[in-house]
Structure 1
Amino acid sequence: MTSSTPTPDLPAAGDKSSPMMQQYIEIKVAHPDTLLFYRMGDFYELFFGDAEVASRALGIVLTKRGKHQGEDIPMCGVPVDKAEDYLERLIAAGHRVAVCEQTEDPAEARKRGSKSVVRRAVVRLVTPGTITEDRLLEPGRPNWLAAVARRKLSDGEFVYAVAATDISTGRFIVSEAPATALMAEIARLEPREIIVPDAIHDDDGLRAFWDEHRSAITPVAHEGFDPASSERRLKEYFGVAELAGFGQFSQSELAACAAIIAYVERTQLGSRPPLSPPVRAAEGSGLAIDAATRANLELTRTLSGERAGSLLATIDRTLTPGGGRLLAERLAGPLTDPAAIRARQESVAALHEDVALRDRLRSLLRAAPDIARALSRLLVGRGGPRDLAALRDGLSAARTIGGYLESAPALSPELAGARASLEALDPAWGEALAAALSDDLPLLRRDGGFVREGYNADLDEARLLQADSRKVIAALQARYAEESACRQLKVKHNNLIGYFVEVPQAAGEAFVRPPLNDTFVHRQTMAGTMRFSTVELSELQSRIASAGDRAQGIELAVFDALVELLGRHAEAIKAAAEALAVIDVSAGLAELAADLGWVRPQVDDSLAFDVDGGRHPVVEAACRRNGVAFVANDCDLSPPGSAKWGRITLITGPNMAGKSTFLRQNALIVVLAQMGAFVPARSARIGVVDRLFSRVGAADDLARGRSTFMVEMIETAAILNQAGERSLVILDEIGRGTATFDGLSIAWAAIEHLHEANRCRSLFATHYHELTALADRLKRVSNATVRVTEWHGDVVFLHEVVPGAADRSYGIQVARLAGLPPRVIARARDILTELEKSEREKPVSALIDDLPLFSAIAARPAASDAPSAPDMLRDALDAILPDELSPREALEALYRLKGLRRDEAGETIS
């Protein structure tokens, strides 16, 4: 989804407009691709095309203000105090917003003349990938801003670099991938916003992808990705002389990283988010899962886009936002290094075995706020007193957890590293925050009152003066009321005239005459009231204003000092936040395994795949909620000689029997095992899978002119072209979207290709029972079926997957369960009987024994490669003009064609 805001048809510089509108136009021209929130008092107002876009996106009234070239100027607005609610909705829709604030006091503007406009400037660009506000972020989801760059290899192919940062936490990662893996890498990250140079954005092979992607796509000029300046920009941002300390990066990786830095600096307008140095992910270090497979398996979101019902929602037992983000990241990017996987497993296993340690850690984690995002907000100038409190409480919890881990009998290396990061925190940082902050904190620092009484003597003195002033005002009001004999007299305050005396208009007539007019000076006459000032009130106002300004200045200085303290130790605090997330994820996965009876899988470098009693985690959870037992099933796709099944197993059985569930559960077990979690099974041994492919179900893509069958074929083509020996492929009902023989032929050929060319581990569900005969001819192919039984004409699903092949699909029985009319069911039975009779007389499965296998076919040159021979028959036919032939000439021509056919067949013409 390319994120762009239509630039309105703005007045030219010479057009007659009000000074305010001229100022708006100047600022809008400088930010053409954003919605401009233009501050007008207590509202942000939008004009021209911005107003039309915002009114539709927000569902607010579109009105008008003034004229331009004789036509009304469209306008809409949102209250400043509700702006975050509206920003949230605009950002979710992929828009970018420029926030334009008043940068001077209106009184200062009036000094320049009655028609002078208050100075305004854009103070921030809000984009989907650069937000830090807590209300605009999902607590358990990283908010990635990504950038894509590329370089050309000697063979002319492109290699793509993808850099990504989460400004809200400071994480910064980069990787490089071939063109075929670019979309899979972007699908893994699920970035909220992607920066791409114009050349990549307009690339014919990628343009459709950018247009259809749900992320906000931000095209930028090529200069932003200039490799020549990339290294310099990164050195300046991180304050280093060399980048070698961060690792070795290619030119495209440096360009992608620098593009992110440039975009961050542009949108943050001088603020410098505390980004960590980029960390490079080695190519092939993660399990490759393409976008279609992620969607089919519903790893982090269901097909409808909801988190509920996904694998992530099912396994998430984390207690902190940071832990939730780390769990989502690990689930999205499982590992392929057995040693790294075992390191994570050891952490889960340690907390799985030590129940007391796990329970205590989880109890302490509940008190740990999101210190990573609170720190980031504070360091970019958007934090408030409650963010300081989050750091206070988070640092305290971190120290407590670190101390508790110190007494733990045995920790995994990963947990020991986390403990070291927590112990590195200086207790003085948290103590400084605790000493300074009061118990009841405002949301914004400008509201004041967040510094604890007794922390600063000057602040206490100023506050005391403010409190005494309120008493003085009350006493002064009582004295004025007595002296003037007006009990309705009140002392009030507003920002225009300060403190004033207000009396009913009827009583006010006495105040403008002697002797009261010596004390009370008339200021305003309102509807029903009159207002007066006195010398005492003016002096009191001066003292109070001075005390209030002084108190606010002291509090803001305290706030800045605390932020500066935290900023000096930002890296240590971020390391502690990451440590808390690691502990939270490990403890959560251990709790999950203990609660549901999951086991630690054996993950190694072999090609094994042996799952004993595997279960589908999401479906099992739904069954448990409904009080239904889930039926566990084995799956063995290990190499020949050690496996009970074949490397490719064909699954047959009726609809509703559980074939798709069985396919998906084994793919999900691989994802869980390689992310370092325990798995829902009695035991499991998995040789590392490097690529995971799933084609389960399909929908049409009408926007791109693709039918359901076309989508199915595109996904199948990707699998057959990319799967290798270490891949796991699950395929469901290949070829069912077209004619029977076409579909059967495609499924048949696909199985042979998987067997001979891809040589991968695969589960292949099908209703083409003829394909089960392939198990007798292909040594790595076996059959399995989902058991069912019939009872009084109804089909009963047993959900057990056993070796063997189904002899029928029970489709009519399933249709009956679905509620098709009895007459339709009866007629279907009659038709089925006739079709089965025809099949028995000339079965399609007999072709399996007659046709050569894929390997033999592949050895022959393709038809397009063979030399073309003269086709005399076609040439003669093309030479005939039927409309010009007499009956006798037509008969003679027919005999000539028949003779040519016999001649080409090698027979003698008599």
Structure 2
Amino acid sequence: MSAGTTTPMMAQYLEIKSGYPDALLFYRMGDFYEMFFDDAVAAAEALDIALTKRGKHDGQDIPMCGVPVHAAEGYLLTLIRKGFRVAVGEQMESPAEAKKRGNKSIVKRDVVRLVTPGTLTEESLLEARRHNYLAAFADVRDTHALAWVDISTGAFHVMTVPLVRLGPELARLAPSELLVAEGKESVHRSLETEFGLSLTNLARASFDSTGGEARMCKLFGVASLEAFGTFNRAEVSAMGALIEYLDLTQKGNLPLLRKPVRETEARTVQIDAATRRNLELTHALTGGRAGSLLSVMDRTMTASGARLLERRISSPSRVLETVHDRLDAIDFAAQNTRIAQDIRERLRAVPDLERALSRLSLDRGGPRDLASIRNGLSEAAQLNDMLGDHDLPTLLNTSVAALAGHDDLIALLDDALIAEPPLLSRDGGFIAQGYREELDEVRQLRDEGRSVVAAMQAQFVSDTGISSLKIKHNNVLGYFIETTATHAEKMLSPPLSETFIHRQTTANQVRFTTVELSELETKILNAGNHAVEMEKQLFASLRQAILDNAGEIGATSAALAEIDLATALADLAQSENWVRPIVDTSRAFDIQGGRHPVVERALAQQSGAPFVANDCNLSADTDAAIWLLTGPNMAGKSTYLRQNALMALIAQMGSYVPAQHAHIGMVSQLFSRVGASDDLARGRSTFMVEMVETAAILNQADDRALIILDEIGRGTATYDGLSIAWATLEHLHDVNRSRALFATHYHEMTALAAKLDGVDNATVTVKEWEGDVIFLHEVKKGAADRSYGVQVAQLAGLPAAVIARARIVLEALEKGEREGGATQKTLIDDLPLFSTTPTPPPPAVRNSAVEMMMGDILPDELTPREALDLIYKLKEAAKE
């Protein structure tokens, strides 16, 4: 079939599709979104749905698949998660309206929205307790900036970002989608896999700073951006690109965004991507939320409170006043437990105001979003009444003040809405009885049409005196009045003929109508549609009333999140025995009885075993303060390193910490080099990854940084690794002058403690018992005497023959080192590859007297007296 014989519908499809070549087109046809050609093939495979065909184009069958409109959100989510973008093409008129233009006219269609990872707003497509950021990166004359927005909440931020800081900031924000200028996407392509985001290139004109400023001023209705602060050209470029992209994807229906907030690096602790990954702040190394610090600390009752907690963990503060205000808020909740519990019970009923407001602003909301606003503001007013008379710390006082002032809007929504509205406005039935008299009348006709007709019939009987008069209905005449021929003469004569209009005469009956009956018929037939239309109009007016108060509602939502987080962290502190840290501008780092919150929780859930708490003191007035940590694998070195890094982060996010006492001087940067894996995508070995991360630390860390390093140099030859670790430690001490924990298996490095004033040795203690090693998990000053590697290998389950052979090799190597003179090669050459005699079997295990006695005991048959006597016998046998 040639292009000239393409059907009108397919011609329309191809025209719309040409505007969105990089997206799947959802083409609305009645109750389905249909896809054709390559879109259909790709979507059918991604969604695991049937691929069919419809008609021909250029002589070839047209592949086709479709999804029901009512279930489209679920399919959209699957496609977005698999990396697709979807253009939603809707019918812009009804088939009846199309016919008015001619019988062969097809329904007008157009794309109303481009769905991308960073522009989701639907509740079913988003994680309620996480932000969904859309970011844009711009560079103008060697100045770089990153802007980000969450259109589901209205949050809008921007900051100047040196190119070296782009990765760490993306790790902090974890945006779903990043916009870059056309021609630059190849430079940033690696970010796509490294941070799991979708990279989108925009025309360079979209990043024009002059155009960006104009777009921003138009969006916020201001003459100049100076009212929001001072922004450089790169920042304006990034923000302008975001607005341009939202305009393109939302087809001109821009979301309700808050005024842009300019962030600076100096206000938050700098944490790079590797450190965030190693410390498992918001995601565990396995990839999920479970097992992360966020999962352990999250006791918030609201979605907005959970999102605030994630932001706090991702961006600990370096502003001392801010940290103290947050700690004071937790103090109040911890000291007033009854009030705090009442607050948390009220917060349990608070819906997600931010996202309901966003959906309403984009005209994607429904009656339930109206109810969410009503319910959320009502709960806020109750909390304001509850807390208004208390002497509150600064942060809570400010938050409580933002809860009030919505009485008129609450009253309006309360009067207008039923308690539990339906999801969609087109379903109707969400406006309360008594709110609009006209709507009540229409509903009565819709729901009680039969009784209204019966009442009219009774009135006609009374007016005519004809008791056999009936009002009936058929598909030809509609509603009509019927009487016998005998009585018809009376109705055909004045004065009744002035009211009753003759319509039809049959063999035995005569049929009439009245103006009143005709009007009633029209009302009854149209009542259902009329009621829905009236409710849609009322929905629009209620929606506008909410949007007129959007700023105040946003402030209330932020205040509820702040109160939620303070009470949640207080609840966590009380139940888990966390304490308020001393946070100041000193260089102190003194932790007593510190614990790793995630490991402690895991131990409690799995075995009920207590976590072994440990101290750490890296305090120093001016010099570096470094602990060189030795001890065997499995002893808990990595846990100890991580828990102290987390201690600083938790304190500076403004929370109590898992310790008996904590004094932390402000940390500017947090670096972690713990664990490693190959980076095959970049062709980098484990050792190379380790060196790159170590280089980043040594090149960036300042004297206010906190650094944890584990096994530097282990990925290469022994002497190479030792020399690298040695030089790294010296650089930290002499140049960076940072507070640091440095774990190593190179026992030779313990000699540095005597040479460098700021270095102390510490070790994780173990106990050896009959050839086995018992981990005590206690950290104390001093150095480990050995690594216990063979014992750990034995615990891991290596074959007994391998363990025995390892002991022989180890003994020979240690003997040669003690006696001196023999090189490692000579020692190895002296060890036969294959012994002339087989490796002796492991010694037979002999049961002790106690074990033999235990085997004969039947607990269920013992009397209390016999059990007591048995304990004495077992104790005596144990001595022997």
TM-score, normalised relative to structure 2: 0.85
List per-residue Cα deviations over 1:225-271 (Å, max 9, x = no partner): 10122222111100012222211111111111111111112211232
1:207, 1:43 → 2: CA distance?
Answer: 36
Contact preservation (8 Å) 2:587, 2:621: no
Match of 1:631 among 612, 616, 620: 612
Instruction: Say if 2:717 is the partner of 1:739.
Output: yes
Letter in 2 for 1:766: T
Question: Partner of 2:122 in structure 1?
Answer: 133
List per-residue Cα deviations over 1:703-735 (Å, max 9, x = no partner): 221222221121111112111111111111111
Match of 2:422 among 419, 442, 446: 442
Match of 2:769 among 770, 778, 791: 791
Contact preservation (8 Å) 1:499, 1:537: no
Contact preservation (8 Å) 2:816, 2:822: no
1:721, 1:760 → 2: CA distance?
Answer: 12
Moved more, 442-451 or 349-358: 349-358
CA shift, 1:553, in A, is: 2.2
Question: Partner of 1:277 in structure 2?
Answer: 259
Contact preservation (8 Å) 2:174, 2:195: no
Contact preservation (8 Å) 1:602, 1:685: yes
Alignment of 1:148-159 (within 5 A): 148-152=137-141, 158-159=142-143
CA shift, 1:67, in A, is: 2.2
1:84, 1:112 → 2: CA distance?
Answer: 33
Contact preservation (8 Å) 2:170, 2:195: no
1:794, 1:767 → 2: CA distance?
Answer: 20
Unaligned segments of structure 1, at least 5 residues: 1-10, 153-157, 477-489, 501-513, 521-535, 846-910
Letter in 2 for 1:101: E
Contact preservation (8 Å) 1:196, 1:220: yes
Instruction: Say if 2:240 is the partner of 1:241.
Output: no
Instruction: Say if 2:581 is the partner of 1:618.
Output: no
Instruction: Say if 2:671 is the partner of 1:693.
Output: yes
Contact preservation (8 Å) 2:618, 2:739: yes
1:492, 1:42 → 2: CA distance?
Answer: 31
CA shift, 1:116, in A, is: 2.6
Question: Partner of 2:97 in structure 1?
Answer: 108
CA shift, 1:201, in A, is: 2.3
Question: Partner of 2:634 in structure 1?
Answer: 656
Q: Secondary structure of the residue that 1:284 maps to in structure 2?
A: helix
2:474, 2:236 → 1: CA distance?
Answer: 62
List per-residue Cα deviations over 1:796-830 (Å, max 9, x = no partner): 10000001111111111111111111111111100
Question: Partner of 2:37 in structure 1?
Answer: 48
2:235, 2:78 → 1: CA distance?
Answer: 33
Alignment of 1:296-311 (within 5 A): 296-311=278-293
Instruction: Say if 2:525 is the partner of 1:545.
Output: yes
Q: Secondary structure of the residue that 2:216 maps to in structure 1?
A: helix
Match of 1:326 among 308, 311, 329: 308
Question: Partner of 1:601 in structure 2?
Answer: 581
Contact preservation (8 Å) 1:300, 1:312: yes
1:817, 1:392 → 2: CA distance?
Answer: 61
Change (3 A) 1:73 1:538: farther
List per-residue Cα deviations over 1:755-788 (Å, max 9, x = no partner): 2222111111111111111212122111110000
Kindly tell me the number of residue pairs found equivalent between the two proteins: 780
2:821, 2:310 → 1: CA distance?
Answer: 50
Instruction: Say if 2:15 is the partner of 1:26.
Output: yes
Question: Partner of 2:840 in structure 1?
Answer: none
CA shift, 1:567, in A, is: 1.0
Question: Partner of 2:54 in structure 1?
Answer: 65
Match of 2:158 among 174, 188, 192: 174
Question: Partner of 2:540 in structure 1?
Answer: 560
CA shift, 1:516, in A, is: 11
Instruction: Say if 2:701 is the partner of 1:723.
Output: yes
Change (3 A) 1:126 1:537: farther
CA shift, 1:517, in A, is: 14
Question: Partner of 1:37 in structure 2?
Answer: 26
Identity %: 54
Instruction: Say if 2:775 is the partner of 1:775.
Output: no
Instruction: Say if 2:569 is the partner of 1:585.
Output: no
Contact preservation (8 Å) 2:586, 2:621: no
Contact preservation (8 Å) 2:281, 2:292: yes
Question: Partner of 1:377 in structure 2?
Answer: 359
Letter in 2 for 1:348: I
2:712, 2:455 → 1: CA distance?
Answer: 88
Letter in 1 for 2:657: V
2:71, 2:452 → 1: CA distance?
Answer: 36
Change (3 A) 1:629 1:551: same
1:498, 1:796 → 2: CA distance?
Answer: 96
Alignment of 1:358-437 (within 5 A): 358-408=340-390, 410-423=391-404, 425-437=405-417
Match of 1:351 among 315, 321, 333: 333
CA shift, 1:659, in A, is: 0.3
1:516, 1:811 → 2: CA distance?
Answer: 111
Change (3 A) 1:754 1:517: farther
1:187, 1:492 → 2: CA distance?
Answer: 70
Instruction: Say if 2:445 is the partner of 1:465.
Output: yes
Instruction: Say if 2:278 is the partner of 1:289.
Output: no
2:822, 2:687 → 1: CA distance?
Answer: 23
Letter in 2 for 1:36: L
Change (3 A) 1:351 1:208: same
Alignment of 1:507-546 (within 5 A): 542-546=522-526
CA shift, 1:641, in A, is: 9.0
List per-residue Cα deviations over 1:826-872 (Å, max 9, x = no partner): 11100110111122234999xxxxxxxxxxxxxxxxxxxxxxxxxxx
Contact preservation (8 Å) 1:469, 1:540: no
Instruction: Say if 2:760 is the partner of 1:754.
Output: no
Contact preservation (8 Å) 2:445, 2:452: no
Change (3 A) 1:517 1:810: farther
Alignment of 1:65-214 (within 5 A): 65-152=54-141, 158-203=142-187, 206-210=188-192, 212-214=194-196
2:180, 2:431 → 1: CA distance?
Answer: 45
Alignment of 1:225-240 (within 5 A): 225-240=207-222
Contact preservation (8 Å) 1:94, 1:215: no
Moved more, 242-251 or 795-804: 242-251
CA shift, 1:71, in A, is: 2.4
Instruction: Say if 2:812 is the partner of 1:831.
Output: no
Contact preservation (8 Å) 1:104, 1:118: yes
Change (3 A) 1:558 1:317: same
2:635, 2:247 → 1: CA distance?
Answer: 56
Contact preservation (8 Å) 1:640, 1:780: no
CA shift, 1:470, in A, is: 5.2
Letter in 2 for 1:614: G
Letter in 2 for 1:818: A
Moved more, 263-272 or 685-694: 263-272
CA shift, 1:640, in A, is: 6.3
Q: Secondary structure of the residue that 1:369 maps to in structure 2?
A: coil
Letter in 2 for 1:447: D
Alignment of 1:248-263 (within 5 A): 248-263=230-245
TM-score, normalised relative to structure 1: 0.82
Q: Secondary structure of the residue that 2:285 maps to in structure 1?
A: coil
CA shift, 1:546, in A, is: 2.3
Question: Partner of 1:705 in structure 2?
Answer: 683
Q: Secondary structure of the residue that 2:616 maps to in structure 1?
A: strand
Question: Partner of 1:902 in structure 2?
Answer: none
CA shift, 1:94, in A, is: 3.2
Letter in 2 for 1:838: G
Contact preservation (8 Å) 1:640, 1:647: no
Question: Partner of 2:832 in structure 1?
Answer: none
